[in-house]
A and B are shown apart, each in its own frame.
Chain A
Amino acid sequence: MDRARDPAALFAPDTREVLAVRRETADTVTVTLAGGGRGFVPGQFAMVYAFGVGESAISLSGDPYRSDVVEHTVRNVGAVTAAIDGLKPGGFVGWRGPFGTGWPLARARGGDLVIVAGGIGLAPLRPVILAVMADRGAYRRVALLVGARRKSELLYTEQLTEWRARFDLEVEVTVDAATDNWKGSVGVVTRLIPLLDVEPSRTTAMVCGPEVMMRFSAKELLRLGVPSRNVFVSMERNMKCAVVLCGHCQVGSLFACHDGAVVPYDRVAGLMEVREA
Chain B
Amino acid sequence: MSDRLRNHRVARDFDSASLSVLESCSLGEVTWKKGDCILATGDEATRCYLLTVGDVFIETTPPGRSATLLQTIHGGDVLGWSWVIPPYRWAFDAFAATDVTAIALDAAKLLAAAEADPRFGYTLMKRLFTLVTDRLQATRLQLMDLYGPRA
Contact = CB atoms under 8 A, between A and B. Distances in A.
25 contacts: A118-B147, A147-B146, A147-B147, A149-B145, A149-B147, A149-B148, A153-B147, A178-B68, A183-B69, A185-B55, A185-B74, A185-B97, A186-B57, A186-B69, A186-B71, A187-B138, A188-B138, A188-B141, A191-B74, A191-B134, A191-B138, A195-B74, A209-B146, A210-B147, A216-B141
B69 A178 contact: yes
A24 B34 CA distance: 31
A213 B145 CA distance: 11
A247 interface: no
Given A149-B148, A186-B69, A209-B147, A195 B138 contact: no
A26 interface: no
B149 to A, nearest CB: 6
Given A190-B138, A216-B141, A119 B146 contact: yes
A77 B149 contact: yes
Interface string B51-78: 0000101000000000011111111100
Contacts of A192: 74
Given A77-B149, A176-B145, A188-B146, A194 B9 contact: yes
SS of B interface (majority): mixed
Q: Which of B68, B137, B146 has the most CB of A within 10 A?
A: B146
Contacts of A185: 55, 72, 74, 97
Interface of A: 77, 118-120, 147-149, 153, 174, 176, 178, 182-188, 190-192, 194-195, 209-210, 212-213, 216
A195 B76 contact: yes
Given A186-B69, A186-B70, A210 B146 contact: yes
A85 to B, nearest CB: 13
B1 interface: no
Given A185-B55, A187-B138, A195-B75, A212 B144 contact: yes
A77 B150 contact: yes
A186 B68 CA distance: 11
Nearest to B55: A185
Categorize the interface residue count of chain B.
Answer: 20 to 34
Contact of B142 (A153, A176, A195): A176
Contacts, number: 68
Q: Which of A176, A184, A195, A209 has the most CB of B within 10 A?
A: A176
Given A182-B69, A186-B70, A195-B75, 13 more contacts: A118-B147, A147-B147, A148-B147, A149-B147, A174-B72, A176-B145, A186-B69, A188-B142, A190-B138, A192-B74, A194-B76, A194-B134, A210-B147
Interface string B124-151: 0000000000100110011011111110
A213 B144 CA distance: 10
A177 to B, nearest CB: 8
A274 to B, nearest CB: 17
Interface string B13-42: 000000000000000000000000000000
B130 to A, nearest CB: 10
Given A178-B69, A195-B75, A212 B141 contact: yes
Nearest to A191: B138
B9 to A, nearest CB: 7
